[in-house]
Amino acid sequence: MVLSNTCALSLCLDGHGSRSLDSPAFCSHLIMVSLQQMSTQAAPSEQWFLAKGHKIECRTRPLIMGVVNVTADSFYDGGRYLKPERAIAHAMDLVAQGADLIDIGGESTRPGSHVVSEQDELNRVLPVVEELARRISVPISIDTTKSRVAQCALDHGASIINDVSAMRQDPAMASVIAGSGAAVVLMHMQGTPQTMQLAPSYADVRSEVLLFLEERIQHALSAGIARTNIVLDPGFGFGKLVFHNLELLRGLSSLLTLNRPLLVGLSRKAFIGTILDKSVEHREWGTAAAVALAVDRGARIIRVHDVAMMVDVVKMASAASRAWPSQREEE
């Protein structure tokens, strides 16, 4: 006798059916099997991506992406790593702490940030990318919306483009990525960094983010970017109020239907500070809680400032979550 998950749960919980079906032992077993099946069905079938021909696995554990802001005005560490030598040293320290990827940005995307010229952005990031490509073995991501910055970074050793505009700001971005074989992170944002927090509004934030990302996948495919090279980011804090971010976090697993690895950037975000009434310097524990929830709901790449701490958080969260293979399964 084969029952759907819904019917099986209904028979047990409603108390209907024959004596064998509504026995406590049978119901307990059936509910457990149903929940396991639903958990399995929620997992994405593709848990890896390609970046310039290299396969990056995120099947057995979440990957940590360490943030290196070569900027004057980023919301947390703006100005701290503006000098190339300090940015390079910081990136190497993050790798030593356990970062699987390094994300380098030369233009702040915090709410109300100022636009940086293409040349200024190149001057900031290229020396860092070029030197790190010689000194570290982990993949390098460039956080940019400009196609020329992306191309130059790819030429000097980067293999991932993290575009917060999802290739909407610069029409040439898609062809640069397609031609290089780089991976691309497509992020949802309502508005621009300069306008996104003025009055964000959604009828249903989960559905709208999903539809947006689905449309950007199709745009990427039509431009010649392989599906295997696409990573998705729901854009926490980008054009979203506190309750939008919470609703998105609660329903994060719904985005797994897009069948691409999910990257989340929750590190020290303003909505965490609002909930906890904490300044940006004291949001690490709120970040840890949000990251653990995201890992349990299927996030594959975690973009953070505090690498050493989050390595432990994601290791514990993935070990306890049904969304990830158990250690016994991997032995």
Question: What residues are labeled active site?
Answer: 269, 303
The token pair that represents 295 in the structure block:
């890992």
Which H or E run includes 222? helix 205-222
Terminal alpha carbon distance of the chain: 34
Instruction: Please give the Cα distance from 255 to 297 (Å, whole number).
Output: 10
Q: Which helix (H) or strand (E) holds 43?
A: none
Chain CA centroid to CA 67, Å: 12
Task: Give yes or no for a contact between 100 and 57, defined as CB atoms under 8 angstroms apart.
Answer: no
Q: Is the dihedral of CA 161, 164, 166, 167 positive or negative?
A: negative
- Measured in degrees and rounded to the nearest 5, phi and psi for residue 229 equal -100, 10
C-alpha 192/C-alpha 213 separation (Å) is: 16
183-187, strands of its sheet edge to edge: 230-233, 183-187, 160-163, 140-143, 101-105, 63-69, 301-304, 263-264
Q: How many CB atoms lie within 10 A of CB 97?
A: 15
Residue 8 CA, chain-centre distance (Å), reads 35
Tell which residue, 120, 128, 102, 115, has the closest CA to residue 301: 102
Q: Are 258 and 226 in contact (CB under 8 A)?
A: no
Query: How far is the C-alpha of 197 from the C-alpha of 189, rounded, in Å?
Result: 10
Selection from 20, 14, 16 nearest residue 1 by Cα = 20
